[in-house]
Amino acid sequence: MQSNPKVSLREIAEAVGISTRAIEKAVNKLTEEGEIDHKGPKKGGEWIVLKP
């Protein structure tokens, strides 16, 4: 996410080798904890890493 802020959850899932749903859960947890944020529309927005 830091090197490619426009990466999709599906692309992350494929790269890591786990399900898209598992990535969604992890991203939701990181968002709630203030580690990452998403700006813009669901399609075409950018991920922002708040705590590297």
Burial label for 47, CB within 10 Å (0-12, 13-18, 19+), is buried
Please check the confidence at residue 51 and state whether its pLDDT lies above 90: no
Query: What's phi and psi for 35, nearest 5 deg?
Result: -80, -35
Cα 44 from chain centroid (whole Å) = 12
pLDDT band at 44 (very low <50, low <70, confident <90, very high): confident
Amino acid at residue number 15:
A
Tell me the pLDDT tens digit for each residue of 6-41.
999 999 999 999 999 999 999 999 999 999 999 999
Cβ 27 vs Cβ 19: under 8 Å: no
Residue 52's pLDDT band, with cuts at 50, 70 and 90, is confident
Q: Where along the chain do its domains lie?
A: 9-49
pLDDT at 42: 87
